[in-house]
Amino acid sequence: MGTIIERKNLLNICKAFKLIQNDIPIPLVVVGKGGPYKEKVKQYLADNKLEEKVIFLSDQLAAQGKKPFIATEDFPALYQLSTAMIYPSFYEGFGMPIIEAMSGGVPVITSTTSCMPEIAGDAAFLANPERPEEMAEGFRKFYGDDTYRDAAIAKGFQNIQRFSTDQYAQSVMNMYNSAL
Domain limits of the chain?
6-179
* Three-state SS letters, 125-159: EEECCCCHHHHHHHHHHHHHCHHHHHHHHHHHHHH
Architecture of domain 6-179 in CATH? 3-Layer(aba) Sandwich (3.40)
DSSP string, 46-60: HHTT-GGGEEEHHHH
User: Virtual CA dihedral for 85, 3, 97, 90, nearest 10 degrees?
Assistant: 80
- Looking at residue 79, what is its pLDDT? 86
State pTM to two decimals: 0.89
For the chain, what's the residue count?
Answer: 180
Reported as type and span, the H/E element at residue 103 is: helix 96-103
For residue 171, what pLDDT band results from cuts at 50, 70 and 90?
A: confident
Task: Render pLDDT for 117-168 as a digit per residue (tens, 0 to 9).
Answer: 999 999 999 999 999 999 999 999 999 999 999 999 999 999 999 998 887 6
**What is the end-to-end Cα distance of the chain in Å, rounded?**
42
